[in-house]
Chains A and B, each alone.
Chain A
């Protein structure tokens, strides 16, 4: 019963789309920061 309730309470797709977008932005920021780090110390 408890498990069924959890499945029903799945987050909507709009929520996940925002999360995926955040992952993409975060990844670009991280790669850019790594590139800047390399450039700064080279």
Chain B
């Protein structure tokens, strides 16, 4: 990194922290600190909704996943627009008119305090762990780029975000999200253009896409109905629908976004913004990963992207043989790629065979590096940052690092703010101090934000060894979201549902997901469906055993 790159990153960090802290003046009251006085316009809330979901993992993990696995991951988002419609019809108007601070507040009105506390507790667990993985992604990038100690990097990112969230509350979160989204779009747009300009003479964008397409890297619709296949149109439309309903409708980090909107209409419009933009945006990010793959058809990619671990393996003479074989396989594939791109499609099969051979050598190298390494790592997460560092020009490196920072900080800030809101409103105010001044609750909110920031950093240290980061976060979510959604389905739709049913239904739902993950090969998106259905079924059946218990009047 050159001086200009440093200047861009430092300028970005300084501006965002200053911009967040100056929102302190709007955050004196409980309503202002946690809900921005319900005064924000739809476009700001909409961008904040998207920024919260688009974390650094989306940039680093998804581009890496597109490089290795192609665009199949896009199917994960196919259920999102339908989930948004369902939420606009049900949850948005309901929560807005109920004037609640958290989604779980309603569950006490509908059921009892135990159900509210349990759901809020599971939210705290799942998001507390989730935010840790969100911090670890950019920390990996920085630890590679600067050669910093990973633990120091984790605390540097996590705590800088914590600082402005502590002071500015939800106002700081939303308005910094808006600016961060522009930085992300700009950074990734510039990155895309530079990759396209980096193709060798005579190889067009279409040629590059044909190369990727011939290896199945552009597959975006898999119609096979296989529960053991991670990404299919069905797992996206059904499993993804349940996950998105749970995430946007029952997760405080998203519910809090649309609770800050001026009105029901503005809240709906903010969610529909994601319904229109999310799939195209994800396509754009995955396309960058695929184009990085095309770029590396003509320029030798690192044998393993985690260059730090490669350096250790290089001391072994056996690895030099592997490297030589890898280089030969790359040369062969490059020739096949050039022939396929510039001469004739008859060379397609040669290219596919050459790619298979190349991948076999890369696998062998990866296995060797893993065996000689004392640390567990997933090479997918190192693809994009290593590419940026080695092939982007001065200034653009800084811009992309700033974009990765922006993506990370926008998500971390929203999560910390939501964790603090649930802690303050659902636990502290409800269970310990129901009658206190606004100033007192804001102070508790600030302390909670700080403590959650520390907790998330500690989780991040362990999350760096858990595999592909994007999947780690989604897996964490899938363990809880389906079951949480089930409780809200019981609350909204099942009139006969009672507190005991909701409470034990939730526990059964989470247990069923846990059992499914241990004893079956079902892919994690389906956990959301299992969790929700088991919770509703058991919740209903257990409710039937409750007699003579009427619903509270205000929950009708």
Contacts and interface: CB of A to CB of B under 8 A. Distances in A.
Contacts of A19: 272
Contacts of A35: 220-221
B510 interface: no
Contacts of B78: 27, 31
A14 interface: no
B220 A20 contact: no
B210 A20 contact: no
A10 B227 CA distance: 43
Given A20-B88, A24-B85, A37 B220 contact: yes
B213 A20 contact: no
A35 B221 CA distance: 6
Q: Which of B89, B209, B221 has the most CB of A within 10 A?
A: B221
A31 B214 CA distance: 20
B279 interface: yes
A14 B263 CA distance: 18
Contact of B220 (A10, A24, A27, A34): A34
Interface residues of B, number: 32
B272 A27 contact: no
A16 B90 CA distance: 13
Contacts of B335: none
B88 A41 contact: no
A7 B263 contact: yes
Given A19-B272, A31-B78, A31-B221, A38 B263 contact: no
B81 interface: yes
Given A11-B265, A16-B268, A23 B218 contact: no
A34 B218 CA distance: 9
Nearest to A19: B272
A42 B218 contact: yes
Nearest to A10: B265
A41 B82 CA distance: 28
B262 interface: yes
B264 A42 contact: no
Interface in A1-42: 3, 6-7, 10-11, 16, 19-20, 23-24, 26-27, 30-31, 34-35, 37-38, 40-42
A41 B218 CA distance: 8
A26 B283 contact: no
Interface of B: 71, 74, 78, 81-82, 84-85, 88-89, 206, 209-210, 212-214, 216, 218-221, 233, 262-265, 268, 272, 275-276, 279-280, 283
26 contacts: A3-B262, A7-B263, A7-B264, A10-B263, A10-B264, A10-B265, A20-B85, A20-B88, A23-B276, A24-B81, A27-B81, A27-B82, A30-B279, A31-B220, A31-B279, A34-B74, A34-B221, A34-B283, A35-B221, A38-B220, A38-B221, A41-B206, A41-B212, A41-B213, A42-B216, A42-B218
